[in-house]
Every structure is written in structure tokens, then in C-alpha cells.
Structure 1
Amino acid sequence: MTCSSSSVIPRRVLIPIDKSEHSERALKFYFENTMKPNDHLILFHSIELPSMPVMAMGEAGADEWARMMRDEKNKAESLKAQYEKLVEDEPVTVEFEATDQNHKVGENACKAAKEKSANLIVIGSRGMGKVRRTVLGSVSDYILHHAHLPILIVPPEHRPSKSRQNSITSMTSASSKTSVSSKTSTSSR
């Protein structure tokens, strides 16, 4: 049985976003490497809930908390506008989903993926080592272990360490000098 391209159900791709370069890198990787023309893109943002001490939750504390929530929602709207510009020329349909359910971004992303019937999650990784990931937690690690659908984790660009970069520069300089001296000795013959 063959299906015509017009009857293909669009793939639903969830990309968690924030103001980081890692989110933009994940989106760029998606467009350059995995995008399909009929995809439906779900740009998901987990709003950071302000934390307030329990004792500060009197009337003044409640007003302050409400102000901080408005600020976070305004930041989410700004982020939406930023990403709308990044996707405006792409052949996909897009929706923006923001939630303020709890402090756990990975948990919120997994829940949104399930509720939105996502077929794929594309997420940027910060590239933390084991110790930092264990202490700080990792959203991509959480999603990898708790979302029950395919996950594409986009690692940070590989940048050699300064000591490695210096040794590469030294090797390149030595190589240049060698090729220059061999040309000189060849032309003097």
C-alpha cells in the first residue's frame, strides 16, 4: 500500500527553548539535518517560577511574587518573538508552548511532549562533565531517561582546550618552518 505525500501525518517535533545558545544550536541542527517539510514544530519553554521564602508570603510577599511572575511571563513572550523570527522562513508549522507548572524543566518538557503527542524531542546539551551533571542536574539527561520517544541531543561544538590549541598552533608553526626550509634547500641546488 502506498500513501500519497498529501496524506502523510506531520511529524510533531518538540524543542525545549530558553535564552541559551544551546537551544538555538538545537533548532539550527534540526533545520539543517532532520527537518521534514510537513513537520509541526512545538517550541517549548518552561517559565522559571520565582522562589520566595514562606515567611515573605504575606500581602507584600504575594504582591512581589505576582510582579516576578509577570516579569517571567514577559520574558517568555520576548523569547517567543525571538524564536518566531528564527523559524519564519522555514517550511514547517509552529506553535509556542510555555508552562509555569514547577521548577523541573525536564519534567515539564516530558509532560508537554506527551500532551502534544510529540514524535521526537530535539534538545541542546551544555556538555557538562559527570560531576557537574550529577550535582547540578541536566535537562537533556532527564529527558533522555524519562521521555518515551526518540530524543536527539545536540552536543556543544567541540572546542579544543587552550593547551591543546597552543600545541596545535606550535605544531602548525613548526610545520610551516619545515616546509619553508625544505623549499629553500631545494631551490638552492
Structure 2
Amino acid sequence: MRTILIAMDSSENSLYAFKQYAEKFHQDDNYVIAAHCVHYTITNPEELITSTKDEEKIRKVFEEDEKRILSVLNDMEALLAENKISGEVVRLEGQPETSILAKAEEVQAAMIVMGSRGLGTIRRTILGSVSEYVLHHSHVPVMICKIKS
């Protein structure tokens, strides 16, 4: 049994990558780990807490984030079931690129599958690219799927 790690968010690009894997590469003896690196609305909680004393507002933002994250995880579980793929959904925290690589190493993944946002050269240079980082630092093959323009 081979373990395949599919890095997913709620984007069209990651859904495309999942579908490409499911339709063209999946084998019945593969075990798929669909990994979602969560993104929070509030990136610096301390700043929010010092800028507003409204505890209800802060709690509501965190609750909305958690609701959104759980929805994405549930959608990912449904994708596995709909495609009759054996596997699980995992929640990752932290920087996506390092979290993906750490999880792949932890589960001894045979391959990483992910989508590409298709950033232009300038934006990719300034912002960096999660898929490029994973591609260049992974010790296992990486399949990057990009939607044709």
C-alpha cells in the first residue's frame, strides 16, 4: 500500500488536482491523505486583542473561521467517499509549505499531489509559491496540477 498526500485548500486549483489524481493516477491499493493547511482570518491574535476590547467580536471571528475550516474538511471527506478512495482528511497548522513537507515525511508518503495557483513571475518572486517550495524541497515525487488557461 502506498500513501499519497494530496495538499488541498478550498480553491478550484486544489479541487482540480484532486480530480486529476482520482481520474488518472489513483490505484485501489493507494491510501490517500487529503491534507488541509488551515488559514485563519486573524493572523495576529495579540494585535486584535490589543486593538479591540470587544471580546464578543473576537470570539465571533474565531467561530466563523472554525466553521469555514470544518466545512472545507467535510467537503474533502465527501470527495474521498464520492470517488471511493480509501484515506483520511487531516488538518495542518502553520506555514503550508513546511506543514505539507512535514506531514509527507511523517506518513512516509510516496508522492505529494497539489494544485498551482498560477501566480505570474513577479507575484511568485515577491510572494513565493507553496507548490514551488514543496517541489524543490520534497524528498518524494511531487505532482503539480495547473488548470489550463
TM-score w.r.t. length of structure 1:
0.69
Is the contact between residue 47 and residue 73 of structure 1 (CA under 8 Å) also seen in structure 2?
no
SS at match of 2:88: strand
RMSD: 2.2
* Match status 1:51 vs 2:48: no
Is the contact between residue 38 and residue 92 of structure 1 (CA under 8 Å) also seen in structure 2?
no
Partner of 1:86 in structure 2?
79
Is the contact between residue 123 and residue 152 of structure 1 (CA under 8 Å) also seen in structure 2?
yes
1:115 equivalent among 100, 106, 113: 106
Is the contact between residue 77 and residue 88 of structure 2 (CA under 8 Å) also seen in structure 1?
no
Query: Which residues of 2 match residues 70-109 of structure 1 at below 5 A?
Result: 70-100=63-93, 102=94, 104-109=95-100
Report the count of equivalent residues: 147
**Separation in structure 2 between the aligned mates of residue 87 and residue 56 of structure 1, nearest angstrom:** 37
**Separation in structure 1 between the aligned mates of residue 55 and residue 35 of structure 2, nearest angstrom:** 27
2:16 equivalent among 2, 25, 41: 25
Query: Considering only CA atoms, is the larger Rg found in Structure 1 or Structure 2?
Result: 1
The structure showing larger relative contact order (alpha-carbon pairs under 8 Å, at least 6 residues apart) is 2
Is the contact between residue 112 and residue 141 of structure 2 (CA under 8 Å) also seen in structure 1?
yes
Is the contact between residue 14 and residue 115 of structure 2 (CA under 8 Å) also seen in structure 1?
yes
Fraction of identical pairs, as percent: 29
**Separation in structure 1 between the aligned mates of residue 54 and residue 108 of structure 2, nearest angstrom:** 38
Show structure 2 runs of 5+ residues with no match: none
1:63-104 residue CA offsets vs partner (Å, 9 max, x unmatched)? 75554333322222101221222221434312111122x2x2
Deviation at 1:14, TM superposition (A): 0.7
**Separation in structure 2 between the aligned mates of residue 146 and residue 45 of structure 1, nearest angstrom:** 19
Is the contact between residue 34 and residue 87 of structure 2 (CA under 8 Å) also seen in structure 1?
yes
Is the contact between residue 46 and residue 98 of structure 1 (CA under 8 Å) also seen in structure 2?
yes
Show structure 1 runs of 5+ residues with no match: 1-9, 160-189
More strand by share: 2
**Separation in structure 2 between the aligned mates of residue 55 and residue 82 of structure 1, nearest angstrom:** 32
Deviation at 1:46, TM superposition (A): 0.8
